[in-house]
Structure formats: C-alpha cells, structure tokens
Structure 1
Amino acid sequence: MGIDSVASDEAREARGVVSKSINEPTSSASGLELSDIKISDLKVSDLKWMQRALELAAQAEAHGEVPVGAVIVRNDTVIAEGWNQPIGCHDPTAHAEIMALRKAGKAEQNYRLSDTTLYVTLEPCVMCAGAIIHARIKRVVYGATDPRVGAAGSAFSLLGNGQDSEKFNHIVSVEGGVLAETCSTQLRQFFKARR
C-alpha cells in the first residue's frame, strides 16, 4: 500500500478517524500530503486489510453472490479469508465472516481465535456476531453499515460496547466505517445491476 492510498479520499472518509491537521496544506495530485493528515485509532494496516476484504468481496460478486468479503488477521498475518457463498453452497450460514471463521478454526486447530482482528466489508449480522463472540475475536473492523440487520450498532448492539453486549462473557472491540463509501458503492452497484 502506498502513501497515496493512505491519503486518498477513502482513507479520509473512514468514519472520521482520519482528520486534517492544523498544518498549512501542501500541494499534491490529491491536494493532501500524508504529513497533512493524522490517523487516530485507525491504523494503516486497517486500510490494507479492508482493501483485501474488498478484493474478496469482488470474488463473491464474480460468483453471483452478494459482494461481502472477510479477512481474519493476527499480528499483521492472514489466518483465513472468506467471501459470501450462501447461493453457491446452498447454505444460509455461508456468510463471508462464517466462511473465514471456519477456515481460521481449522488452520488454528481451535475455534477460539484470541488476539485476532476480523475485517469485513459489511457490518456483521446477528448470526455472524454470535459466531464472532464465541470465537473470541478481539476486534472487528467493518466497512459499510447494515441498517436492517447490522449487529454492531446499526440495528442491534451485540458487538462493541452496545447495550446488549454487556450481557456476554466476551466483548469485541469494533471499528466501523473503514472505507465505508467504497464498500457501500460495491454493494449498491451489485444490487443495481441485479434489478
């Protein structure tokens, strides 16, 4: 990932965690230099792994599935990846997150995936949130919100510090809106083409 990628519009729109500094702006092709922005909470690696999740979402789309991709990472190393496959697998549970969790469990020989981060292009649903909690995922980073069934605060509050999460034995840290516009556009274009 190059510096230009970090300073792109997508990086700046990532849920407001990237903000312009008080320095005088310098000129560049994008109009903003890396020295003109600061990254708080959001890590450069979050952008890299969300970009990978977007690539996986494109694979789902190429197979006629809703374009959602997921990557599970520990210490900046991929443990497993997945993309939406409910249509092809004839399985309503074959969401991107579940596919990645299944592969990660096999790779780790353990269903508990402590100290991992799951990157996903769409806010996890209730089913996926339950699996994420059981897997003891430390952190979830998602792109687009899902106001109908999102379980990280949009429709339900099962992940993060939401009202329902305090009832669970494991709290998952959540960072939403990373490359949200790109993730949302990918989904919108998919559904527009299907109509």
Structure 2
Amino acid sequence: MSDDIANTFSEKDHYFMQRAIELASMAEQQGEVPVGALLVKDDEIIAEGWNRSIGCHDATAHAEIEVLRKAGQVLQNYRLLDTTLYVTLEPCPMCAGALLHSRVKRIVFGAPDLKAGAAGTVLNLFEHQAAYHYADVESGLLQQQCKSQLQAFFKRRRKEKKAAKQSLT
C-alpha cells in the first residue's frame, strides 16, 4: 500500500480499524478465523463482532453478519443508514449481499480476500448492475497488519494439522 492510499484514511478510520484488528484477535483466541468487524454511526461504535462460525456451528456467523445482527437490534431497524462498517478482511459474497440489504453507507476493509472477495478483488457486488443500493467501498486500511494476522493464523493452523497427522503415523 502506498503512502498516498494510507493518507486518504482519517485518524478515526485508523482507530476503528485498529479496534477491528483487536476483535479479530478475539476470534483467533476462540479458534476462529481471525476476522473482526464493527459498525460506526456518528463516530460511535454501534456494534462489534468477530467470526464465530466454528463455535456457533453456523456458516453465516461471519464477523460482518454478527455486527449487522447486533446493530439492527441496537438501532431497532434493519436499515443501517449512514453507517460505516470496518472489517479486517474483504467481505465475501454472502456478507456483501447482507451489507447491501442493510443499506450500510460505507465499507472499509483491511486485507483483500484473493479467493472470495466480493468488494472488488474477485468480483464486486457493490457495483453490480443488479445492485439496488450502493455503498462506498474503501480498501487497504492497515492492510499489512490485517494480512499478517490472517497469514500467521493459517500458518499455525497448517503446522498443527501437520503435527497431528504425523503423530498418527
């Protein structure tokens, strides 16, 4: 990421993404893929969440979905108008669809998802001609930190699986 890109984000953007990284660490402590997210309205955090798919036995329990569910309850409305979602990893198609349905105004993500990114890396649901709502999507905030957190997790996970496999032989 160039310094020019880094300079387009505000101090508040950095603060909120740093908090999302902390939330991703909570996911990791629970054995989940370390993705954290939070929703902000009027510079205040409305809801926070992290991946919980494994522990909840729920494929939809991604960080973004967890946040949208909580925020809907807090605001007593599924339409989360004039909000910003900060998430450490680019939303997948499921999460991108939910963000569009929720009318989140702005999405800021850290690391691109090279396998399933639906905010511009693999496909872009936010700019699809069938989209009935549009959101401003900004990428690359604290990208290296977000990417490193995920890479370290998967490296450790592969090492653990290899060790477990070797102990069986």
Aligned to 1:93: 60
Aligned to 2:153: 190
Aligned to 1:167: 130
Q: CA deviation at 1:43?
A: 1.2
Letter aligned with residue 130 of structure 2? K
Alignment pair present for 1:57 and 2:57: no
Unaligned segments of structure 1, at least 5 residues: 1-12, 19-38
Letter aligned with residue 91 of structure 1? D
Check 1:117–1:181 CA distance in 2 against 1; reply closer, same or farther (3 A cut).
Answer: same
> For 1:130-173, what per-residue CA distance to the aligned partner results, in whole angstroms no more than 9, with x for missing partners?
000000000000000001100001111112xx3x2x32111010
Alignment pair present for 1:132 and 2:99: yes
Taking the aligned partners of 2:3 and 2:114, their CA distance within structure 1 comes to 16
SS of the residue 2:47 aligns to: strand
Q: Which 4+ residue blocks in structure 1 deviate beyond 4 angstroms?
A: none
Aligned to 1:176: 139
Taking the aligned partners of 2:16 and 2:78, their CA distance within structure 1 comes to 22
Letter aligned with residue 153 of structure 1? G
CA contact (8 A) 1:79 1:107 kept: yes
Check 1:91–1:142 CA distance in 2 against 1; reply closer, same or farther (3 A cut).
Answer: same
Identity, in percent, stands at 56
Q: How does 1:1-195 map to 2 (within 5 A)?
A: 13=1, 16-18=4-6, 39-40=7-8, 42-159=9-126, 162=127, 164=128, 166-195=129-158
SS of the residue 1:17 aligns to: helix
TM-score by length of 2: 0.90
Letter aligned with residue 30 of structure 2? H
> For 1:66-88, what per-residue CA distance to the aligned partner results, in whole angstroms no more than 9, with x for missing partners?
00000000111010001000000
How large is the Cα RMSD of the aligned pairs?
1.2
CA contact (8 A) 2:110 2:141 kept: yes
TM-score by length of 1: 0.78
Based on CA coordinates, which of the two structures has the bigger radius of gyration?
1
Taking the aligned partners of 2:116 and 2:5, their CA distance within structure 1 comes to 24
Letter aligned with residue 193 of structure 1? R
Letter aligned with residue 113 of structure 1? L
CA contact (8 A) 2:23 2:36 kept: yes
Taking the aligned partners of 1:131 and 1:15, their CA distance within structure 2 comes to 32
